[in-house]
Amino acid sequence: MADEHTPNAGDTRPRAEKDPDDWVTGEEPMTGPQRSYLHTLAQEAGEPVPDDLSKARASELIDELQHRTGRGR
């Protein structure tokens, strides 16, 4: 049973193996597939997307937009 000290307590969404903030390559520019999917989600959500995001920030924004558009995992 989860308690307040358990990561993701009460959150049933699957999580990445590692927090994007902890990625060794997280500050590198986002990948082509990230850019493509992010722009698809952003268009559905009516949100602008900067083209200069890092891999880590793109991953976080993808998670946010998936939740908002109902495409969440």
Residue 4: predicted pLDDT: 43
Using CA atoms, how far apart are residues 46 and 67, in angstroms rounded to an integer?
Answer: 14
13 pLDDT more than 90: no
Average pLDDT over residues 1-10: 45
Residue-range domain boundaries for the chain: 26-69
Predicted local distance difference test score (pLDDT) of residue 23: 66
**How far is it, in rounded angstroms, from Cα 57 to Cα 63?**
10
Q: At what angle do helices 32-45 and 55-69 cross, to 10 degrees?
A: 30
**CB of 46 within 8 A of CB of 65?**
no
Residue 1, helix vs strand vs coil: coil
Q: What is the per-residue pLDDT across 54-64, written as a single tens digit (0 to 9) for each?
A: 999 999 999 99
Q: Is the pTM of this model over 0.75?
A: no
